[in-house]
Amino acid sequence: GEDVEQSLFLSVREGDSSVINCTYTDSSSTYLYWYKQEPGAGLQLLTYIFSNMDMKQDQRLTVLLNKKDKHLSLRIADTQTGDSAIYFCAGYSGGYQKVTFGTGTKLQVIP
């Protein structure tokens, strides 16, 4: 099966950019997702990228995909205190027909 790894913790100052990184092992992953989990809530989809794309931008969010290195990143511009949450990356593998989640990165935004 697939392994998806993330760093556990990231701290940034309000107004700075945040970059959350993720690596995965299954090169057949067709969709790669970023989810946000706020305290006490379930996952909410932030954005996703198809495996044939290198970059996707959605307002303050930029997703970069390096298929060669199997590396996915999420950049949040102008990070706000409301962005404090745990961020999960996930890969959908058509071969296994399942979604595999990373361990989550806790983002702390310092005012």
Partner 1 sequence: GAVVSQHPSWVICKSGTSVKIECRSLDFQATTMFWYRQFPKQSLMLMATSNEGSKATYEQGVEKDKFLINHASLTLSTLTVTSAHPEDSSFYICSARDGTGGEETQYFGPGTRLLVL
Query: What is the binding site for partner 1 (CB under 8 A)?
Result: 30-31, 33, 35, 37, 39, 41-45, 48, 86, 88, 90, 92, 94, 97-99, 101, 103-104
Angle 47-48-51 (CA atoms, 0-180°, nearest 5)?
160
Q: Smaller CB distance to partner 1: residue 17 or 103?
A: 103
Whole-angstrom distance, CA of residue 86 vs CA of residue 14: 16
Closest CA to 3 of 36, 26, 33: 26
Cβ-based nearer residue to partner 1, 1 or 82 = 1
Q: How far is the CB of 5 from partner 1 (least distance, A)?
A: 13
Considering the complex, what minimum distance in angstroms separates the CB of residue 48 from partner 1?
6
Handedness of CA 95, 30, 21, 42 (dihedral sign): negative
